[in-house]
Chain A
Amino acid sequence: MSKRKYDVSVIYKKFGIYLVLLALLVISSIISPVFLSKANIMNLLTQISVVTIISCGITMLIIENMTDLSGGSVVALTGCLCVGTYKMLIGWGCNIIVAGVICMGTAMVCGFSLNLLSGMVITHYRAPAFIVTLAMSQMARGLVYLYTGGQPIYGIEEIAIIGQGKIGNILPFSVIIMIVIVSITWVVLNKTRFGRYVYAIGGNREAAVASGVNVNRTVLKTYMLHGIFVGIAGVLYMTRINSGQPAEGVNLEFDAITAAIIGGTSFSGGIGTVQGTICGSIIIGVIKNILNLLSVQSYYQQIITGMIIVIAVILDIKTKMSGK
């Protein structure tokens, strides 16, 4: 593939998914008068924030030809650890803000360490990311049950503000955090040497090695960054529902992977953008939201969600091919 054709296909790819999103937004606003209300848009953004944050890291990993199947379990673990730590510190008479900072730090360190561990096994033994992160998912779920004794953690009052609070009663903190993380990912992928290495590794690993890219270190760094994001996602998830629920967060990683794939990230590596992923994430969020607003029966919701995702992907591939 020549350099020029590659560029053209990428441009078409981007537009394809944006058009799908636009069409979905127009249709939704026509069939539901409340869809475009301020309250609903803020609801929608808070509802997609956790998945979007996880999908940022997952996009980078898929571009590198890696993946992460432990996202949901690690979210449960970091989230429960966060609210558990907070509750413990408050019990010791700690200042609210200090406790808040420490418990968020704990969650991030936890997400960071677990993903670092996965990354180390994957790079050191050249093990398949699929199986290693699947094993990590099991371990993280076991750890969170162990930590909580299988029981939800309640009574976390003040820290819930992270997931539920709003600035000026309009803009939720979770949306701001989501935007910050998306921006960081965009800068990392587009403006740094590390980002170019990420694309290089996914595009052609051997070539990347030959041109002096330290593949293992780059992959490891990606897992580390992703781990921090997952830690933050865990904090948002559990503070939003105002309790530490060890059994929740199941299959979050698949929502995140779906968002990345709808957004045009290629499973064969080397291709993908964070803005595409956001589109994918919003598309999934809008589908769920509009079906809820219309009170479509739950069984149909799953069928329709599946169908729209397939249509979105087909349209995306079609527009990409017409560019060639």
Chain B
Amino acid sequence: MKGITKKVCCVMMGILLGVTILTGCGKQPVASPKTENGKKETVEQKQGEGPKKVAFICKSYTDTFCVWVKDEIEKKSAEYKDEFSLDCLDSKNTSSTQIEQIENCVAGGYDVIIFQQVDAEAPVQAVKEAAAKGIKVIVTTGSINDDGISTYIDADPIQQGTVLAEYAVKKFPEKANVAILQGPAGNFHANGRQEGFKKVLSDKAITIVAEEIGEWQKDKAMTIVQNWLVAYPDLNVIMAHNDDMALGATEAIKMAGKEGQIQVYGVDATAAGCQALEAGKIGATVFQNAIDYAHLALKYASDYLKGQEIKSVRIDSELVTPDNVKDYIEIHKKLGNIK
């Protein structure tokens, strides 16, 4: 009997532990009032008195770029501390978690919810419900298909793909054989970047010999490129949807002893990407200004709370080449990404 109790206890603790870790930083939902009147009253009450609350839901604490935006928002929020308090959550790159977090924030009486979308469709219903309760939703680094209910601050991934490809084709070897490392299937940014790449390449009638999904990951990209280098001895250009995959390609090229024979291009201008560009391992990348995203998102939240109107914007991304990479390395140094 004692043994069984012990066993049950242990299993329960295991499950409890698992669940706690899984839901991690999710906030305790506050029970929302049931009646329609009750809801309105709470909203008015909370907008009338007490400090304002803003939630920032990060797409994933493991995505270098998303975390960078989160860090900038946290830093900058100190300047707004008289206007509102800020809480950060992690969606762990999972749509269902993100929806729960939006719902919890609505119930928890936040005034503004800023989030980085995991998916363009999944959170629409939750966002509509938030808007119905008078909560402003701002989407950053992405946008969702909600017919303009939320306000977005986003880059244009097609522009990112186009600006990179237009620069790259000028640098291409005479007979270019291009392979493309793609982001996850159905991802908004991957699709846009792909569209930008393809538009330019097909205009110039350049052959694409292979395309594979590398899931944004260095390890997967490295394995794919190793195999490509064997299958396509003529391959001389690799274009990746992000810098991590581009860096995976450079590792594979290094291991095959083909350094300098294959051009590699990436997007994101991460610290490691900029350093590789400076070292001549990759040809060019595109900088999404995380700082702009972060500062604008907070400014929008502040403006909204002051009663001003805010409008959706698309921020143009900047092309990073060997000529201007030093400026971006300086930015990363200031941020502490490069020591």
Q: Do A and B come from one complex?
A: yes
Nearest A residue to B22 via CB reads: A138
List the A side residues contacting B64 at CB < 8 Å.
Answer: 151-152
- Is B218's CB under 8 angstroms from A32's CB? no
Nearest Cβ on chain A to B18's Cβ, whole angstroms: 5
Q: At the interface, yes or no: A127 with Cβ under 8 Å from chain B?
A: yes
**Which residues of the other chain, A, contact B211 by a CB distance below 8 angstroms?**
295, 297
The reply to whether A39 and B230 form a contact with Cβ atoms under 8 Å apart is yes
B205 proximal to A (CB < 8 A): no
Q: Nearest-CB distance from B93 to chain A (Å)?
A: 9
Which of A34, A142, A164, A245 sits near B255, CB closer than 8 Å? A164
Stretch in B7-15, B118-126, B312-320 touching the partner? B7-15
Closest to B60 in A: A247
Query: Could you say which residues of chain A place their CB within 8 Å of the CB of B219?
Result: 237, 240-241, 245, 248-249
Contact across chains for B67 and A151 when beta carbons are under 8 A apart: yes
Question: Does any Cβ of B come within 8 Å of A183's Cβ?
Answer: no
- Residue of B whose beta carbon sits closest to that of A35: B230
Residues of A within 8 Å of B14, CB to CB, are: 127, 131-132, 134-135
Whether A248 lies near B6 (C-beta < 8 A) is no
Q: Who on chain B is nearest to A125 by CB?
A: B10
Q: Say which residue of B67, B227, B248 sits within 8 Å of A289 (CB atoms).
A: B227
Indicate whether A246 reaches chain B with its CB closer than 8 angstroms: yes
> In angstroms, how far is the closest chain A Cβ from the Cβ of B239?
15
**CB-based contact A247/B62 at 8 Å:** yes
Question: Secondary structure at chain B's binding surface: helix, strand, loop or mixed?
Answer: helix
Taking the nearest CB of chain A, how far is it from the CB of B123, in angstroms? 22
- Min CB distance, B2 to chain A, in Å? 12
Indicate if the CB atoms of B18 and A43 lie closer than 8 Å. Answer: no
Determine if B212 and A125 form an interchain contact, defined as CB atoms under 8 angstroms apart: no
Give the distance to chain A from B14, nearest Cβ to Cβ, in Å.
4
Interface residues of B in 216-231 (CB under 8 A from A): 217-219, 222-224, 226-231
A139 contact set on B, CB distance < 8 A: 17, 21
* B251: interface (CB < 8 Å): yes
Q: Is A292 an interface residue (CB 8 A)?
A: yes
- Closest beta carbon of chain A to B248's beta carbon, Å: 7
Q: How far is the CA of A283 from the CA of B263 in the complex (A)?
A: 33
CB proximity of A205 to chain B, nearest CB, Å? 15
Q: Give the contacting residue for A164; candidates B10, B251, B272; CB below 8 A.
A: B251
Contacts of A323 in B (CB 8 A): none
Contact across chains for B218 and A241 when beta carbons are under 8 A apart: yes
A40 and chain B: residue at smallest CB distance: B230
By the criterion CB–CB under 8 Å, are A138 and B11 in contact? Answer: no
| Interface pair B62/A298, CB less than 8 Å apart | no
With a CB–CB cut-off of 8 A, which chain B residues contact A288? 223
Most buried by B among A40, A142, A237: A40
Output the nearest chain B residue to A237 by Cβ-Cβ distance: B219
CA separation between A156 and B204, bound complex, in Å? Answer: 39
B3 interface hit (Cβ, 8 Å): yes
> Given contacts A37-B230, A127-B10, A293-B230, are A245 and B218 in contact (CB under 8 A)?
yes
Does A150 sit at the interface, judged by CB under 8 A? yes
With A135-B14, A248-B218, A248-B219 known to touch, is A145 a contact of B61 (CB < 8 Å)? yes
Across the interface, name the chain B residue whose C-beta is closest to A248: B219
Which of chain A's residues have a CB closer than 8 A to the CB of B61?
145, 150
Question: Assuming A37-B230, A150-B67, is B223 touching A292 (CB within 8 A)?
Answer: yes
Whether B7 contacts A34 by the Cβ 8 Å rule is no
The one of A37, A242, A248, A292 in contact with B224, judged by C-beta atoms closer than 8 angstroms, is A292
Interface residue from A135, A292, A293 paired with B17 (Cβ < 8 Å): A135
Least Cβ distance of A134 to chain B in Å? 6
Judged by a CB distance under 8 angstroms, whether B210 is at the interface is yes
A193 vs B186: C-alpha distance when bound (angstroms):
53
Nearest Cβ on chain A to B64's Cβ, whole angstroms: 6
Query: Is A243 an interface residue, CB under 8 A from the partner?
Result: yes
Question: Is B104 positioned at the interface, with any CB of A under 8 Å from its CB?
Answer: no
Contact indicator B7/A240 (Cβ below 8 Å) = no
B271 located at the interface, meaning its Cβ lies under 8 Å from any Cβ of chain A in the complex? yes
Question: Are B228 and A292 in contact (CB-based, < 8 A)?
Answer: yes
User: In the complex, what distance in Å separates the CA atom of A289 from the CA atom of B212?
Assistant: 13
A126: which of B7, B21, B255 is its contact (CB, 8 Å)?
B7
Other CB < 8 Å A-B pairs besides A240-B219, A245-B217, A293-B227, 10 of them? A127-B10, A127-B14, A131-B18, A134-B14, A135-B21, A164-B251, A237-B219, A242-B251, A243-B218, A294-B231
Q: Hey, which bits of chain A sit against chain B, CB under 8 A?
A: 32, 34, 37, 39-40, 43, 46-47, 121, 125-128, 131-132, 134-135, 138-139, 142, 145, 150-152, 154, 164, 237, 240-243, 245-249, 288-289, 292-295, 297-299
13 A-B pairs, CB-CB below 8 angstroms? A121-B10, A125-B10, A126-B3, A127-B10, A127-B14, A135-B18, A150-B61, A241-B251, A243-B272, A292-B212, A292-B228, A293-B230, A297-B211
